[in-house]
Amino acid sequence: MKFAVWPSMNDPWAETLAIARHAEATGWDGVYYADHFMPNDADVSAPVGECWTTLAALAAAVPRIRIGPLVTGNTYRHPAVLAKMAATVDIISGGRLVLGLGAGWQENEHRAYGIEFSTVGGRLSRLEEACHVITSLFANRRTTFAGRYYQLTDAPLEPKPVQSPVPLLIGGGGEQRTLRIAARYANEWNAWGTPEVLARKGQILDRYCEELGRDPRTIRRSAQALLVMTDDRSLIERVRASGRPVLGGTGPELRALVEQYAEAGVNELIIPGFTIGRTLDEKLATLDRFNEEVITRVSRE
């Protein structure tokens, strides 16, 4: 099991950098960043960092650990442009990028910025074409593609990324199309979920892989859940009321939950920064406590 941190996109850059550097120095495996332009709230005035410029800065400033978007909205950038950006960030990082990609879902920012939102089916069809375009540009000297949504003619991508291939992480748990796309194109798959949900969806992904003649073990699995390190049951339930999966409890209880994620096939557990503290000191202290009481003991056991 690997462990990664996911700083909030509302944090100022200096705090994001401090969290990433602290995670690297204390043995965490990765750092992720959300790809949004504005909050998904009635009040959209809160500051939001831009994902790919932040990733490029982290690639240069933070050694060793993997970095990536969780996940890039495919609707926001033409996939050929995204492939070029990703190749450059992979080069800057020395080969540590994970290219997280999803269909896009946050309607308010599409409307505000004049980006076509389409339907769920339309966004998923674009995602499937984008996966083909990106993987072809990474692998081939030239790419020609005549899709419904994207067209390329003898398109180059140079310089190539350091990794071959750059891990393509498909984010989302849709059982009819997203998991099929992941089975065909993904090196990694990510979703929110409890161990029970992830185990069931993982079995569906496995079946799609088998239909394609692909070994399901070639796709790594990652997940995230809101961390609440406490013995206050009422607080855990209040966080759970958000509708998101929760890692809640004391150190021993959290270790047991992590083991359940591992048994569900999860290779990497990602800790969002949303519930781990208000100040930078509080956030770092929570990460250190989770590291000491959970990560190191799970690794030893």
Q: Are 268 and 3 in contact (CB under 8 A)?
A: yes
Question: 179: Cβ–Cβ under 8 A, 6 or more apart, which residues?
Answer: 173, 189, 201, 204, 205, 208
- Mean pLDDT value across residues 206-228: 97
CA dihedral (157, 166, 48, 111) positive or negative: positive
Q: What is the token pair recorded at 202?
A: 């993982």
Q: Are 230 and 249 in contact (CB under 8 A)?
A: yes
Q: Percent of the chain at pLDDT above 70?
A: 99
- Mean pLDDT value across residues 99-113: 97
Q: What is the pLDDT of residues 256-290, one digit of tens each?
A: 999 999 999 999 999 999 999 999 999 999 999 99
- Amino acid 301: pLDDT: 58
Q: pLDDT at residue 46 above 80? A: yes
Q: Are 38 and 108 in contact (CB under 8 A)?
A: yes
Instruction: Indicate the pTM of the whole model.
Output: 0.96
* CA–CA gap between residue 161 and residue 84 (Å, rounded): 9
Q: For residue 300, what pLDDT band results from cuts at 50, 70 and 90?
A: low
